[in-house]
Amino acid sequence: MSSEGKAEILKLVADSGLPRSKALAQLKLPRSTYYRWLQRLVEDRLRDRKGSAHIPWNKIRPEEEARILAEARASPVLSCRQVAFKISDLGHSYVSESTLYRILKREGLIKPVEIIGFKAAKEYHHKTKRPNELWASDCCYLKVVD
């Protein structure tokens, strides 16, 4: 709403002759809004501020993104984590590993993970000879082909 419209509503409520609460109820205007507008009128700042198009504090700026891409292209053998550490260590800026991964993936600089397939054996190569000799076997990262 424009500052003129707000000033008109404030004048209408003041000149209505009704109690403020009833006048505000008829206009369906919350009391908090009315008193906020009244305070701003006294301070001579009734006009709303335009929303600014500034970059949020946590968004990567274009020049930072260009520096990240240049660093990643200069050393393609480094992982996202290593590139993020290198950028932070050089003091350019801080970028998280996940943000760096998203930028590099968008630019096509992430190579797909190579999955090596293993064939599962029928039995253990090193058999146990006593109780509790083999406590656990971790096979989380093995891909069983057959």
Residue ranges, the chain, pLDDT below 50: none
Residue-averaged pLDDT of the chain: 82
Tens-digit pLDDT profile for residues 89-117: 888 788 889 999 999 999 988 877 777 77
Residue spans of the domains in the chain: they are 3-42, 62-106
pLDDT at position 124, please?
A: 73
Burial class (CB in 10 A: 0-12, 13-18, 19+), 97: middle
